[in-house]
Structure 1
Amino acid sequence: MAVNLVNLENVSVSLGTRTLLDQVSLGVGEAERIGVVGLNGAGKSTLLRVLTKEYQPDSGRVTQRGDLRLGHLTQSVNFPDDAIVREIVLGGSFDAEHEWAGDARIRTVLDGLGLNSIGLDAPVAKLSGGERRRVALAALLIKDTDLLVLDEPTNHLDVEGVAWLAEHLKSKRGGLLVVTHDRWFLDAVCTRTWEVTEGRVEQYEGGYAAWVLARAERSRQSAAAEERRQNLMRKELAWLRRGAPARTSKPKFRIEAANALIADVPEPRDTVQLKRLAGTRIGKQVYDAEDVSLRFGDRTILNHITWRIGPGDRFALVGVNGAGKTTLLRLLAEQNEPDSGEVKVGKTVKAAYLSQEVTELPPTLRVLQAVEEVAQRLTVGDRDLTASQLAEMFGFSSARQWTPVGDLSGGERRRLQLLRLLMAGPNVLLLDEPTNDLDIDTLQALEDLLDSWPGTLVVVSHDRYLVERVTDQVWALLGDGALRMLTGGIDEYLERRAAAGAGSGRAGAAEAPRPAVSPAVGDAPTAADQRAAKKELGRLERQISKLEERERKLHDRLAENATDFAKVAELDAELRTLQAEREAAEESWLELSESV
């Protein structure tokens, strides 16, 4: 019988009057891939520090296997000021100047995390916080470890870097324990989920989708569960069920349970209706960028781009770090001026710009006061919300709403900053990495709000889940000064980066995501087989999307002809045939995905 790498027995940890861990007993197995989730401040990072023996619990026992090789990435990274990147990443193992270059494993990590653009001889003291985190992560990934413990490893990584890291961790041997709020990453990498809540650690099989379903089932069965959270999770499940084919690769009983849970859930957002409402509030013109160019030093950020954003448009901006995403948002927010060209802003535009920096507020101001200072009420779609109700949606309980701003964590200040922007009643939202420091429950509330928000939305985010859920189009800055609309979304962006050589050498980052499945039995597929299978997967995904669209149109026609029984019978027969075709395509997708 395999022995756990780490065991906790009746461990308790308190911080002041708060109990973070209360008599917790659990273990981490040799090949387990565990995602750790929970509210900000619930004790996730503390749990990791206890497991790695960096923090002594108040009571209980922590045991590790005697020969355990453990790597731990913390949220704060401290290096000697006089160190260079090479010393941190390679240590003393590679004394010869180019000895590391002969090790493909090391080259892959350096390329995947974009460290080639930083340079191995760069002084650590001159690096940004995000660059230091990437250096620390690279140092861990090139080592042989039995257990990797990572606290928010996707912070400061772009979409491409997150995709590469997911693929790399899936192929890396040993156990994995990761705290992350990136839901796509959870589904792509983790096979188990731990939820830290109220001093307990609840354990679930599967990644994010399975965790959402399990929570929803538990809440549905519990009479004491909050009605608001039930509705949020049901809506989330509805989106998961209607989403990409990858999310249908769940055991049949789970699909049936999800269908029962979402039977009374409203339809996904009505884009046409929201655009109509947005047009009423904003008018015809929002932003017209005409032949805009912008340079930074000797680098061209934007090169004669023309971009039009209309009422109700919901755009995502993706691109490599430094491609100019934040610069473009600042142009729209009228904080920057282009070197040439013009950005025309509609006369009725009332924009709110969320930067990556947390704007400071007076530390003695209470949370609710900070919100009501902007507005008392906010109407979102057909909902009229008070400042207190909206604050609760964003994770500030009634008691927490009277906490001084100075006592809030970084994540809580980020939430408050976003909340104040929304309370100002904008008709355009410009959001730069809005998911930074937000826990999953708050992300769900934010997405639920944006779902029914009838305004224009432009989002810069590395969070694929948020992008796929709340935006309708993906635009990419590929580092060449051009701006391109990608009909295939983030998958197309990664494919384009791979086809272009990916600049930084991140070939693995451009692989389309796939669900975590067991390896197929038999001979290992060749690279050519893998490419062919992935191409066929893409074709099936496009076919399924088209079939789903035809189904939606048939449902509309059935509703229009409800009183014409002959027509209803004809349309129903057509619908059954279409559903059978879609189910066959989904089965083919599932079978093929297991061989990839």
Structure 2
Amino acid sequence: MSKIEIKNLSFGYDGQAKPLFAGANFILDSQWKLGLVGRNGRGKTTLLRLLQGQLPYQGTIQQQQQFSYFPQPISDKSQLTVDVLAEISTAQQWQLEREMSQLGLAADLLWRPFNTLSGGEQTKVLLTVLFIEDGVFPLIDEPTNHLDLAGRQQVAAYLQQKRQGFIVVSHDRHFLNEVTDHTLAIEKNQISSYQGNFAVYEAQKQRSDTSEQAQNSQLKKDIGRLKQTAAEKAKWSQAREGDKYGDPHKKGSGAVYDTGFIGARAARTMKRSKHLAQRMATEIDDKEKLLKNIEQIEPLTMAFQPSHQQRLLTVTDLQLSYAQQPLFQPLSFELQQGQRVALVGPNGAGKSTIVHQLLGQFSGQVSGTIQRPQHLQISYVHQDYEDNHGTLSDFAKLQKLDYQAFLNNLHKLGMPRAVFNTRIELMSMGQRKKVELAKSLSLPAELYIWDEPLNYLDVFNQEQLEQLLLMVQPTMLLIEHDQTFIEHVATKIVSLK
């Protein structure tokens, strides 16, 4: 058992208005199965890089660990998988096969080119090398992004049975609850550690926020009262200063004979007023610094336009095939006005392919039917949004978006206004995902089709979307592997077999 001790850690990227970390102090135990959580942009991946000594910083990081990191950089994805793993690990083949079997992977995947594996298979293959070498502490950054529900359950079971500790970053709440026993939260103004999984953290954070909200409410009242009193004193002092000159509009004001007395009194009053104003400014500043750690999660907007049609989709005995090989058994379901149907099934089962057929983009063999109203307005969140490019302004014009609503939703999703001038192709993956999502929210539509909308989004964004969908009750076809999200928002689940 060893400790990772961080003392007075400060770090910020060039050009940032404020540092990511300023004098941070915390201690981690290498035996913990630690979930690292926090909003996008708070520095979760940066902290993992700091632990590995990849970035310069102020303060000290005391640790005796050798770290292994996921996802590992791959120089040539066209190599055989066994050669890819040999580049990033000294593991023996029998060790790799042992770990692969625990993750439900066939050993013959080692002899296939890495780039022919599915995203889920690549994720699980790369995870196998993290726990093989003794004395290595795994840092696991977003392992669930390309995993289906079954894959997430396999990886969760795999991590549960490991005796050694690790740090894992994930926005899948159910996954974190399954695999972690401690939580480190990078919050708005502090870094806090909790004994327990994400559910424990969330409950304790809610109690803390409730207490802080009451304190903040009183502080805001105090600040308002202080500001009003300071303004009144300054106004009264200025009025007294004017007394020594008399009121030129009033006859016989008598101000001339007592100018000295009034002037001296006004000067004393002005001095006291300035001292009081300075004292109040200091008190206001001190109180405003106490308004701290509550996350502001603003409600999103959605341009949903209910259809006059009650039934928007009727799928009857649908089967899609490539080269005469069916992707799934014949499928039938209906989508009624106000329903949110979740399509679930393993990676490769054909969920996205059904969407492609619905949008007229499938080139394989089709049997069965999909019936839908003519001229149905659809808003679509793509799983792959690499084609989004250019400035936000040009993108909004191309997509025929309400530009102000588009920007408002982007800001509410947590994108800093400073990023608004960045070209989309130069943004981070999380920021690009928010562009795709804000686009869909801003498009007037009768039916929303969202293909894995939660990838790269933090827990707070997920809660924003949950609240929005439960409030607006749009008609939706949803593909998502996050079990908690599906349980909260779906009104109907359709499984592909």
Q: Same-fold call, TM > 0.5?
A: yes
Tell me, in whole angstroms, the C-alpha distance in 2 between the residues paired with 1:367 and 1:32. Answer: 48
Q: Is the 8 A contact 1:282 1:349 kept in 2?
A: no
Aligned pairs for 1:98-497 within 5 A: 100=94, 107=97, 109-116=99-106, 119-127=109-117, 131-197=121-187, 200-223=190-213, 281-336=307-362, 339-347=366-374, 349-366=376-393, 373-375=400-402, 386-397=405-416, 401=420, 404-478=423-497
User: Tell me, what secondary structure is at the counterpart of 1:139?
Assistant: coil
Residues 407 and 79 (structure 1 numbering): CA distance in 2 closer, same or farther, change over 3 Å? closer
Tell me, in whole angstroms, the C-alpha distance in 1 between the residues paired with 2:116 and 2:216. Answer: 48
The equivalent of 2:264 in structure 1 is: none
User: Tell me, what secondary structure is at the counterpart of 1:15?
Assistant: coil
User: Tell me, what secondary structure is at the counterpart of 2:311?
Assistant: coil
Tell me, in whole angstroms, the C-alpha distance in 2 between the residues paired with 1:174 and 1:367. Answer: 50
Q: Is the 8 A contact 2:317 2:331 kept in 1?
A: yes
Tell me, in whole angstroms, the C-alpha distance in 2 between the residues paired with 1:388 and 1:408. Answer: 15
User: Tell me, what secondary structure is at the counterpart of 1:291?
Assistant: strand
Cα deviations across residues 358-405 of structure 1 (Å, max 9, x unaligned)? 25444333599679951268xxxxxxxx55543333223555556553
Aligned-residue offset at 1:72 = 1.7
Cα deviations across residues 427-469 of structure 1 (Å, max 9, x unaligned)? 2111111101111111111111111223222211111111111
The equivalent of 1:234 in structure 2 is: none
Q: Is the 8 A contact 1:195 1:201 kept in 2?
A: yes
Residues 37 and 49 (structure 1 numbering): CA distance in 2 closer, same or farther, change over 3 Å? same
Tell me, in whole angstroms, the C-alpha distance in 1 between the residues paired with 2:37 and 2:158. Answer: 21
Residues 372 and 399 (structure 1 numbering): CA distance in 2 closer, same or farther, change over 3 Å? farther
Tell me, in whole angstroms, the C-alpha distance in 2 between the residues paired with 1:45 and 1:430. Answer: 30
Q: Is the 8 A contact 2:51 2:61 kept in 1?
A: yes
The equivalent of 2:262 in structure 1 is: none
311-320 or 77-86, which deviates more: 77-86
User: Tell me, what secondary structure is at the counterpart of 1:163?
Assistant: helix
User: Tell me, what secondary structure is at the counterpart of 2:129?
Assistant: helix
The equivalent of 1:25 in structure 2 is: 25
Q: Is the 8 A contact 1:72 1:150 kept in 2?
A: yes
User: What 5-or-longer segments of structure 1 have no aligned partner?
Assistant: 228-277, 378-385, 479-596
Cα deviations across residues 252-283 of structure 1 (Å, max 9, x unaligned)? xxxxxxxxxxxxxxxxxxxxxxxxxx996341
User: Tell me, what secondary structure is at the counterpart of 1:173?
Assistant: coil
Cα deviations across residues 104-142 of structure 1 (Å, max 9, x unaligned)? xx5563245453287211123544665433321122244
Amino acid at match of 1:71: S
* Residue 86, structure 1, aligned to residue 86, structure 2: no
Q: Is the 8 A contact 1:326 1:432 kept in 2?
A: yes
Q: Is the 8 A contact 2:382 2:436 kept in 1?
A: no
Tell me, in whole angstroms, the C-alpha distance in 1 between the residues paired with 2:204 and 2:394. Answer: 32
* Residue 71, structure 1, aligned to residue 68, structure 2: yes
Tell me, in whole angstroms, the C-alpha distance in 2 between the residues paired with 1:226 and 1:122. Answer: 59
The equivalent of 1:578 in structure 2 is: none
Structure with greater Cα Rg: 2
Q: Is the 8 A contact 2:91 2:133 kept in 1?
A: no
Amino acid at match of 1:465: T
Tell me, in whole angstroms, the C-alpha distance in 2 between the residues paired with 1:157 and 1:433. Answer: 11
Aligned pairs for 1:507-518 within 5 A: none
Query: What's the TM-score once normalised by structure 1's chain length?
Result: 0.62
Cα deviations across residues 303-356 of structure 1 (Å, max 9, x unaligned)? 433322222222212211111111112223333265222211123632222121
Tell me, in whole angstroms, the C-alpha distance in 2 between the residues paired with 1:460 and 1:81. Answer: 28
Identity %: 26
Aligned-residue offset at 1:218 = 2.8
6-15 or 84-93, which deviates more: 84-93
Tell me, in whole angstroms, the C-alpha distance in 1 between the residues paired with 2:211 and 2:458. Answer: 24
Amino acid at match of 1:327: T
Residues 388 and 83 (structure 1 numbering): CA distance in 2 closer, same or farther, change over 3 Å? closer
Q: Is the 8 A contact 1:110 1:116 kept in 2?
A: yes
* Residue 57, structure 1, aligned to residue 70, structure 2: no
Tell me, in whole angstroms, the C-alpha distance in 2 between the residues paired with 1:181 and 1:461. Answer: 13
The equivalent of 2:44 in structure 1 is: 44
User: Tell me, what secondary structure is at the counterpart of 1:60?
Assistant: strand
Amino acid at match of 2:69: H
Tell me, in whole angstroms, the C-alpha distance in 2 between the residues paired with 1:298 and 1:139. Answer: 37
User: Tell me, what secondary structure is at the counterpart of 1:57?
Assistant: coil
Amino acid at match of 2:142: E
Residues 20 and 472 (structure 1 numbering): CA distance in 2 closer, same or farther, change over 3 Å? same
User: Tell me, what secondary structure is at the counterpart of 2:146?
Assistant: coil
Cα deviations across residues 26-69 of structure 1 (Å, max 9, x unaligned)? 2221321211112222211110111133x13321222222xx45
Q: Is the 8 A contact 2:38 2:187 kept in 1?
A: yes
* Residue 16, structure 1, aligned to residue 14, structure 2: yes
Aligned-residue offset at 1:159 = 0.6
Aligned-residue offset at 1:150 = 0.5
User: What 5-or-longer segments of structure 2 have no aligned partner?
Assistant: 218-303
Tell me, in whole angstroms, the C-alpha distance in 1 between the residues paired with 2:195 and 2:444. Answer: 41
